[in-house]
Structure 1
Amino acid sequence: MPTKHIDDVTWRKIEKEHVKAVIATQKSLKDTDILRILINKGLETINEDDYQELIKRK
């Protein structure tokens, strides 16, 4: 699996979603499963305007 750095602020958001998912499902979930679903969901909704906004913020 490729590895990429995820900044601390973003990783804390992922961890919070992980906790929410475990509470909601009452099941143990791997952080990689949560990360995968968050990435895939984001890929479904992102558009070119989001990339333009990213450039403006930098």
Structure 2
Amino acid sequence: MSVAPTRGNLIALKQQLRLAIQGYDLLERKRTVIMRELVGLIEEAKKTSGGIIEYL
């Protein structure tokens, strides 16, 4: 990446980096929430399937 070494470019690149870090953190939090929901659904499915087997 070739960027002229000016103060304006430095400020712009810092802003881009800050935005990229915020986006990464947001995606990480979303991934964590989705994984928790998935684990909850798996546990619920296990309980349900166990109940069905007992019923039969």
Normalising by structure 1, we get a TM-score of 0.36
Instruction: Between the two structures, name the one with larger relative contact order (CA 8 Å, sep ≥ 6).
Output: 1
- Structure with the bigger percentage of helix: 2
Normalising by structure 2, we get a TM-score of 0.37
From the CA coordinates, give the structure whose radius of gyration is larger.
2
